[in-house]
A and B are shown apart, each in its own frame.
Chain A
Amino acid sequence: MTAPWTVDEEPRVHPVARSGDLVHVRQVIRVLAQRCGLSLVDQTKLITAASELARNALIYGGGGTVRAGLVEANGRRGVAAVFEDSGPGISDVGQAMTDGWTSGSGLGLGLSGARRLVDDFELSTVPGEGTAVTIVKWAR
């Protein structure tokens, strides 16, 4: 699934290279979510998911980028974001998506939790080349 950036301009690319960039990513997502008209609960869920995925790209992927923009399909509007890194990739996706499993020192809920927080979630990874996660949250 390549997010179809159907609304407005092309999405902007935001770097994720330092922990300070995570704050910026959350703000960007918040502004988009408000423009899209997501409810407060959905806004918070989307921002939290973005925070998790951006942090994964930073910590496990060694830094990457976030592209975010508004999308439209079947008469619904939504916010989409693509998190990409060129890190080591994930060798066992099933394991990585298991609650409580972590290769680092976190709670092991970021990736699996992020999937539950959004409507569409797609993860593509190539070991040794990197990981890309696309998420969409639709307005109700």
Chain B
Amino acid sequence: MVKRDNAADLMGLLSNGDRDLAAMWVAEVAGSLGSRVGSAELDRELRELYEALVQALRQGAVDVHSEEMSEVRALLAELSRNRARQGFSPSETAISVFALKRVLEPMLENGSADEIPAYLRLARILDGLGLFTIETYTRTRDELITAQAEQLLELSTPVVRLWDGVIAVPLVGTLDSARTQVVMEKLLQALVDTGSEQAIIDITGVPAVDTQVAQHLLKTIVAARLMGAECTVSGISPQIAQTIVALGIEFDGIVTKASLADALKLALRRSGVDMVAHTGTRR
């Protein structure tokens, strides 16, 4: 049985005499990672991995996707996920696997020619495992990014109450369809919850207004109007004003103000509040 022999050869490499390969592996990885991973933790991780790998090879695993490798894959996936969360680079993650090849190299020099095919086979398996760690690493990073994007969506759209009956949404950053949808829903809900009749949308923090952003703004304003509220757009910078004109977007019938302060003044006047400076008070 060829498979049996293969397994025996690989085992022969990994259980070479009295040398503690696992310890050498840990030392090699620790050298490249520095002190960013606790030595006890690293020792535990790699020894578990080593034992699982020896076990898998004993059972005749031929590559990373073998059924016998499932334990190794699980451990590697956990290791990669941890590294990704701790902010290590992909190379620093994959080195955990590739270091084992480096540890085995000196043995090859001292060993017999018969061991070369076995080493090459093991090297191929380790390459596969290295790629697997990078795949897991990338997937974890993608998950992190998606989660952060969702958090950002939540964070970036507060509706604030400026006065009785006056609410404002300060928009910051890029407005795509998903975000504008959130803004619109929050604004309309806040109009109901606070019983406000004046809403201010402040776009000071929006770097560019293209047709899609403008269309979303217009829709939000029309929807607010249908609910009996009046909307003012504030914070239109000179460059955005010129861009809107060049694009040919019509803001007909929509009240716009240069600053949030002007918009608030207007909203207060519309809701019948007068701001009077006390005579005689020093300012």
Contact = CB atoms under 8 A, between A and B. Distances in A.
A12 to B, nearest CB: 21
A73 interface: no
Interface stretch (B23-31, B88-96, B244-252, B268-276): B244-252
Interface stretch (B36-44, B106-114, B205-213, B253-261): B205-213
Interface of A: 19-20, 22-23, 26, 30, 40-41, 43-45, 47-48, 51-52, 55, 99, 106-107, 109-110, 112-114, 116-117
Q: Is the interface of B mostly helix, strand, loop or mixed?
A: helix
Interface stretch (B73-81, B128-136, B234-242): B234-242
A28 to B, nearest CB: 14
A20 B240 CA distance: 22
B214 A44 contact: no
Given A19-B176, A23-B174, A51-B210, A109 B249 contact: yes
Contacts of A20: 149
A110 B243 CA distance: 12
B215 interface: yes
Interface in B173-220: 174, 176-178, 207-212, 214-215
A113 B208 CA distance: 14
B245 to A, nearest CB: 9
Instruction: Rank and list the top 6 A-B pairs by shortest CB-CB distance, nearest first.
Output: A113-B247, A44-B239, A51-B210, A41-B239, A116-B246, A107-B211
A40 B239 contact: yes
Interface residues of B, number: 22
A107 B214 contact: yes
Interface of B: 149, 174, 176-178, 207-212, 214-215, 238-240, 242-243, 246-249
Contacts of B239: 40-41, 43-45
Contacts of A110: 210-212
A114 B246 CA distance: 8
A112 B246 CA distance: 10
Contact of B247 (A22, A23, A26, A117): A117
Nearest to B209: A48
Contacts of B208: 26, 44, 47-48, 51
Given A22-B176, A110-B212, 14 more contacts: A20-B149, A23-B176, A26-B208, A40-B239, A43-B239, A44-B239, A45-B242, A47-B207, A47-B208, A48-B208, A106-B211, A110-B211, A113-B211, A113-B249
Contacts of B210: 48, 51-52, 55, 110
B211 A109 contact: yes
A117 B176 contact: no
Nearest to A105: B215
Contacts of A117: 243, 246-247
B247 A106 contact: no
A41 B238 contact: yes
A110 B176 CA distance: 15
Of listed B149, B209, B212, B249, residue having the most chain A CB within 10 A: B212
A53 B41 CA distance: 51
Contacts of A23: 174, 176
A101 to B, nearest CB: 12
A87 B207 CA distance: 29
Contacts of A48: 208-210, 243, 247
A117 B210 CA distance: 11
